[in-house]
Amino acid sequence: MKLLENKVAIITGAGSGIGKAISLLYASEGAKVVVSDISEKGGNETVSEIKAKSGDALFVKADTSNAEDSKNLVEQAVKQFGGLHIAVNNAGIGGPLASAGEYPIDGWDKVIAINLSGVFYGIRYQIPAMLKSGGGSIVNVASILGKVGTKGSPAYVAAKHGVIGLTEAAAVEYADKKIRVNSIGPGYILTPLLTNSLDDAAMKALVGLHPIGRLGTSEEVAELALWLNSDKASFVTGAYYNVDGGYLAQ
């Protein structure tokens, strides 16, 4: 039997990168996947790839920083597939690069809205639906920067630290109600977020930050999320797992 057989899963930021890899993997493991993204093109491409491999998927356009979009996303999942058992709150942005004393206020507001409030809005509506479905599992995608700081990204660092705290709080609240909530911390991963914004020298510098000697892949992050969302991790809740090639061990 497949790991996610007969489960309904919502994946945000699923039009590319980590979210897309998670969606494809979950579908291959039997989940009915609700693909969510602000990009209709990316989201529909993910759905098409899933269906081409005989998987079951639905695209719902949603901006995670909008609470009503998050509510509608859950409602569409339940309407289409009859319930909700799994969620991966993955959508996020990097935001502007500047020191805290010079950081643009509008940049701060946008990063916090998407990377932190967006995760809260997600679980705010996912949890009631999971309770009605008899339980579930949520994975919130934080970052290595949810545990340590770095120069030039105060909003991102603050948001990702917040995601870990939110995860722990929700995990404790719902541990006795058959809902597990965990977070993961990817290191620097080869995704469009990096490859579209950094030159070769910058990419080489990032590689040097990881003792393993390379950047990670979206598929490697997806494997960790899959384990946490599956029954194989049935005694795991409130945890943070980094997948970072040794970054945090230094």
> Tens of pLDDT along 122-146?
999 999 999 999 999 999 999 999 9
The values of phi and psi at residue 59, to 5°, are -100, 130
Q: Kindly state whether residue 1 falls inside one of the protein's structural domains.
A: no
125 assigned to active site: no
The values of phi and psi at residue 65, to 5°, are -80, 0
Closest CA to 30 of 46, 6, 10, 50: 6
Q: Kindly state whether residue 235 falls inside one of the protein's structural domains.
A: yes
Q: Kindly state whether residue 2 falls inside one of the protein's structural domains.
A: no
The structure tokens 């058992």 sit at 85
Q: Kindly state whether residue 216 falls inside one of the protein's structural domains.
A: yes
Q: Kindly state whether residue 98 falls inside one of the protein's structural domains.
A: yes
Average model confidence (pLDDT) for the chain?
97
Helix (H, G, I), strand (E, B), or coil: what is residue 245? Answer: coil
Q: Is the pLDDT of residue 192 over 90?
A: no
What's the rounded mean pLDDT across residues 25-35?
98
Q: Give the pLDDT band of residue 196 (cuts 50, 70, 90).
A: confident
Lowest-confidence range among 36-50, 80-94, 181-195, 232-246?
A: 181-195
Q: Kindly state whether residue 36 falls inside one of the protein's structural domains.
A: yes
Range of the domain at 25: 8-249
C-alpha torsion sign, points 90, 96, 102, 104? negative
Total domains in the fold of the chain: 1
Exactly one of 26, 125, 156, 247 is catalytic; which is it?
156
CATH number at residue 112: 3.40.50.720
Q: Kindly state whether residue 3 falls inside one of the protein's structural domains.
A: no
Q: Kindly state whether residue 18 falls inside one of the protein's structural domains.
A: yes
Helix (H, G, I), strand (E, B), or coil: what is residue 9? Answer: strand
Question: Model confidence over 39-80: pLDDT tens digits?
Answer: 999 999 999 999 999 999 999 999 999 999 999 999 999 999
Q: Give the pLDDT band of residue 198 (cuts 50, 70, 90).
A: confident
Q: Is the pLDDT of residue 105 over 80?
A: yes
What's the rounded mean pLDDT across residues 217-221?
98
